[in-house]
Amino acid sequence: MQTQAARGRTVYGQRMPDDAMMYWLAEAAKERREAAQRKHVHIAAEANVDQSTVSRFESHETTPTQLDAMIAAYARDLDVRPIDIWGRAIELWRASDQSLQVAASDQPIEEFVAEHIPASPPAQPAVRSAPKAPRARTAGRSQGRGARGDSRAS
């Protein structure tokens, strides 16, 4: 397996790894924006952020602190639904990863899960302890002694 440095990407401060959802979300957003012939400044105005924030997101340098708001701004400006951008990101991610391409094929999901996801151990039944027997009353109280246990006359 290649390290992120070997692929030419670092995690923080420079570039997102291409095995992370944010990488593919940025790709999908950029793809939609370019197809609509819109500019960074249009998305930035809709999101109320600086144009450089949009540029850094699309170039995989950073993830916006308000990611959902950013994707919603893309959706509003491009006249699409946010789920369409997220869905395209998943399609791009699947296409990039050979092991995930099986999931996009006609193979039933049950077979895919059985082949690719380890089975979890069966749940252990809850063990309940036997109920405790009620405590017997002390002899002193039943013989009329006071709360302190002495035998003062009333």
End-to-end CA distance of the chain: 88
User: For 81-134, how does the pLDDT look when each residue is reduced to its tens digit (9 = 90+)?
Assistant: 999 999 999 888 888 876 555 545 566 666 666 665 555 555 555 555 666 666
**Do the beta carbons of residue 17 and residue 4 sit within 8 Å?**
yes
What angle do the packed helices 40-47 and 51-58 form, to 10 degrees?
120
pTM of the model: 0.55
Give the pLDDT of residue 20. 79
**In this structure, which amino acid lies at residue 72?**
A
Please name each of the domains of the chain with its CATH number. 21-115 (1.10.260.40)
- What tokens does 93 get? 């991610």
**Do the beta carbons of residue 64 and residue 70 sit within 8 Å?**
yes
- What tokens does 101 get? 């391409």
For the cut 50, the answer to whether the pLDDT of residue 59 exceeds it is: yes
